[in-house]
Amino acid sequence: QDQKDPLTFQSLPTGGLELYFNSYLKGKLGRRIITRSLRHPLDVGDVIATPQNGADIYLTINHYLQAIAEEELEKGIKTVNAKGGWAIMMDPYSGEILAIAQAPFFDVRKYKDYFNSEDLKEASKLKAAVDLFEPGSIMKPITMAICLKANEDLALIGRAPMFSPDEKIPVSNGYFPGRSKPITDARNHKYLNLYLAVQKSSNIYIATLVDRLINTMSEKWYRDALIELFGFSKKTGIEFPFEAKGFVPDFGKYYQNKAPEWSKSTPYSLAMGYNILANSFQMIRAFSIIANEGKDVNPTIFKKIVKNEDGTEKVIVDNTKNFDFKNRKQILSPSSCRLIKKSLKFITKPGGTSRLADVYGYTEAGKSGTAEKIVNGKYSKDKNISSFIGFIPVEKPKFVLMVVIDEPEKKYVPGLGPAQIGGICAGPIFREIAIRSLNYLGVAPDDPFGYPYPDPRSDPTKADWSLEVKYLSELYNHWNQ
């Protein structure tokens, strides 16, 4: 219900930025002495406490980018007939949140309606912060980053790497320890290297890498990397109330049904983005670390807090001091990040799983994900959380953008595939938000020939990706005849 301050009778904040920053926003009441007779009050001018206005919060949100994200998200959700969705845009260097959209939208003009309706109450949550989900395949680049970090740690002690990105790895056998059923890919393959595995989103390849990882380093090393390198199961510190910290299974602990959190099969599930719960700010932070080539960065929503006293503005909290990129902790090596960025370029190109996310005229690196929702403790066969996350341009990206679609309609799209797949339902929204945002920001195309035929600007022989994609196609055909 609508709660009131007992002194001012003003409504108390119940969520969002207003609740998080309430101590700065609310100000302080003043007090003065008034002498009153039976008929008339007399102000004697004695002020006991001077009233103070609340402070002003300056946000990192760019209102043009915010409008773009809201418009394209709403259109996209209607197109795929989804329950809802959200989108976040973040500067990968400073951590500034440039836009955060959610649909269905919260109508502040009718806020009282939200107190008495469970459906409306659900829509009032900032889902990017409070809703946890299994990431699915958008976790695979993070798994690969951890495996590359293992290679570097092995090199420091004079040991051979556990894998090479160019290595020809067999992926026809999906049986792994602890699993009653084999891991499968959407399409059967014989051999893949890292670049082909990302392009095809191979589950068996990533499980094979993690099998080597836990046998070379240890299961504990893998779990620690998820938490210490990428912050899973820890709050990011984004300035919204009720941020969920997520979940990474632990050794020696048990679920309510008495099943162990960590079993033999757990590492392989984690590698593919299952058995782990994350919020969207954790995911966009992880991709921002890769995008900025390895430095720590945390999402933030405000620049400064300013108090106006006697007509003079005084900055009481300056968050821009935390935007400095140079002195950040190096979490991953630049070389490992560049390798992952290169592999993510092929997702939206010929042979990749997310052609509909291709931002024509620009280089983009990204990954789609599709996960079954957990309903009443079980995986649903009908409800999905689907996503696409990426950054543009690949070199010195202007932003990282994540689009999440909640329960897209399940149907088959001729020539494309299942409509609920992240690359099909979230990819086009990513593309539309990105292209409009790049145009607004005045970012010149860095792949001016990378348009689809019959666009007159199209020239596959000159496109940024053409030679590499051609080589991968030939290599794939050679290995998988």
- 70-90 per-position pLDDT tens digit: 999 999 999 999 999 999 999
Supply the pLDDT for residue 460: 83
Helix (H, G, I), strand (E, B) or coil at 85: strand
Residue entry with tokens 């990378």: 450
pLDDT grade for 449, boundaries at 50, 70 and 90? very high
- Which pairs from 436-440 meet CB under 8 Å and 24+ separation? 436/68, 436/72, 437/65, 437/68, 437/69, 437/89, 437/398, 437/399, 437/401, 438/359, 438/362, 438/392, 438/398, 440/64, 440/65, 440/68
Q: What angle do CA 203, 204, 208 make, to 5 degrees?
A: 120
Report helix angle 280-291 to 334-344, nearest 10. 110
Q: Are 101 and 409 in contact (CB under 8 A)?
A: no
pLDDT grade for 26, boundaries at 50, 70 and 90? confident
Q: Are 183 and 203 in contact (CB under 8 A)?
A: yes
pLDDT above 90: residue 1: no
CB neighbour class for 236 (10 Å; exposed up to 12, middle 13-18, buried from 19)? buried
Q: Cα–chain-centroid distance for residue 415? A: 28
User: What is the phi-psi region of residue 417: left when phi exceeds 0, alpha when psi lies from -120 to 50, beta otherwise?
Assistant: left
- Give 206's Cβ-side CA count (13 Å radius): 30
pLDDT grade for 48, boundaries at 50, 70 and 90? low
pLDDT grade for 35, boundaries at 50, 70 and 90? low
Q: Which H or E run includes 427?
A: helix 427-441
pLDDT average, residue stretch 101-114: 80
- Give 25's Cβ-side CA count (13 Å radius): 12
pLDDT grade for 163, boundaries at 50, 70 and 90? very high
Domains of the chain: 1-54 (no CATH), 59-479 (3.40.710.10)
Q: What angle do CA 211, 214, 220 make, to 5 degrees?
A: 145
Nearest CA among 331, 356, 346, 324 for reference residue 422:
356
- Name the residue with higher pLDDT: 188 or 413: 188
CB atoms within 10 A of CB 167: 12
pLDDT grade for 42, boundaries at 50, 70 and 90? low
Cα-flanking dihedrals φ and ψ of residue 192, to 5°? Answer: -145, 150
Length of the chain counted residue by residue:
481
Supply the pLDDT for residue 7: 62
Q: Cα–chain-centroid distance for residue 194? A: 22
- Name the residue with higher pLDDT: 377 or 141: 141
Instruction: Record the pTM.
Output: 0.92
CB atoms within 10 A of CB 178: 11
Q: Are 459 and 339 in contact (CB under 8 A)?
A: no
- Give 160's Cβ-side CA count (13 Å radius): 4
C-alpha 370/C-alpha 358 separation (Å) is 18
pLDDT grade for 22, boundaries at 50, 70 and 90? confident
Mean pLDDT taken over the chain: 92
Q: Are 354 and 374 in contact (CB under 8 A)?
A: no
- Name the residue with higher pLDDT: 48 or 275: 275
At 228-255, the pLDDT tens digits run 999 999 999 999 999 999 999 999 999 9
